[in-house]
Homo-oligomer: A and B are copies of this chain.
Amino acid sequence: MPYDPSAFPHFAVTVDLVVLTVRRHALCALAVRRGEPPYPGRWALPGGFVRADEDLAAAAARELEEETGLRAHAPSQPALPNAAHLEQLATYGDPQRDPRMRVVSVAHLALAPDLPAPRAGGDAHSVRWAPVDDLLDQDTAFRHDAEVSAPLAFDHARILADGVERARSKIEYSSLATAFCPQEFTVGELRRVYEAVWGVALDPRNFHRKVTGTPGFLVPTGGTTTRQGGRPAQLFRAGGATVLNPPMLRPEV
């Protein structure tokens, strides 16, 4: 079927990734250092062009694997080892957002357990996990001891902020916080995820009762561990439940 290609404008379409993990009690995002203009030397979110016959989710999964080695798994699928939660976040299409040309970027949000080390992708640019506070907050970004020293390239600060906000609100009413944990984890480890993502302290006793009392949230594996020190803790896997009812309550700020 013929169609006049001059009847509509042409766009480039990219996917950008907000990849979040919890490291050393802080919520961190994956950042790559740009080599080429525009914004050479600045940190940015990983991402790339969508291919001609590629679905948006497939493009996001491909970029995720290129940058981290993680495979994506669809929501409510058994958590495989080396797999991350991946979902569409939002789309950014300001005509001026890329100085080269008109680019519409479909941002995705990925949540991953703490990984041994970020691995350089097919292109060997530098990659690192940076605390989101350093990436977003101007004051800390310009502190001399901060490892990032300028705002993110393009509109990536906005995209990252939206991704963080999505993660913060979603762990409230879904079991998504388990995506930050390894396959087997303790209640205390899960609690530290909530504390890092929300930036608050939670009562360990009430948290324990809450998560173990929500049917389908956690499944005991039978094993125990003392990797956190102290009394051995039961190990759990994520259960089948995806929505939490009643939700976890985020304390007032």
A: residues with CB less than 8 A from B are 1, 3, 5, 8-13, 37-38, 49-56, 88, 90-95, 99-102, 104, 106
- Are A99's CB and B1's CB within 8 A? yes
Which B residues lie within 8 Å of A94 (CB)?
A: 55
CB-defined A-B contacts under 8 Å, sample of 17: A1-B99, A1-B100, A9-B12, A9-B49, A9-B50, A9-B51, A10-B11, A10-B12, A11-B50, A11-B104, A13-B104, A52-B95, A54-B95, A56-B104, A88-B91, A93-B106, A104-B104
| Bound: A51/B9 CA distance, A | 6
Q: How far does the alpha carbon of A91 sit from the alpha carbon of B56 in the complex, in Å? A: 9
Whole-angstrom CA separation of A50 from B10 in the bound complex: 10
- Among A51, A52, A99, which residue has the most Cβ atoms of chain B within 10 A? A52
CA distance A104 to B1 in the complex (A): 19
- Given that A88-B90, A106-B104 are contacting pairs, would A10 and B8 also be in contact in the complex, using a CB cutoff of 8 Å? no
Q: Are A13 and B93 in contact (CB under 8 A)?
A: yes
Chain B contacts for A3, CB-based, 8 A: 100-101
Shortest A96–chain B CB gap in Å is: 9
Q: Which secondary structure dominates where chain A touches chain B?
A: loop
Contact B1 A12 (CB under 8 A): no
A49-B90 in contact (CB<8A): no
Contacts of A49 in B (CB 8 A): 8-9
Q: Closest CB-CB distance, A47 to chain B, in whole Å?
A: 12
Task: Report B-chain residues with C-beta under 8 Å of the C-beta of A106.
Answer: 91, 93, 104
**B residues near A11, Cβ cutoff 8 Å:** 10-13, 50, 104
With A11-B10, A13-B93 already in contact, the answer to whether A102 and B52 are too (CB < 8 A) is: yes
Q: Which residues of B contact A12 (CB under 8 A)?
A: 8-11
What is the chain B residue whose CB lies nearest that of A8?
B49
Docked Cα-Cα span, A3 to B103, in Å, equals: 13
Set of chain B residues within 8 Å of A54, measured between Cβ atoms: 95
Q: Cβ of A50: which chain B residues have Cβ within 8 Å of it?
A: 9, 11, 93
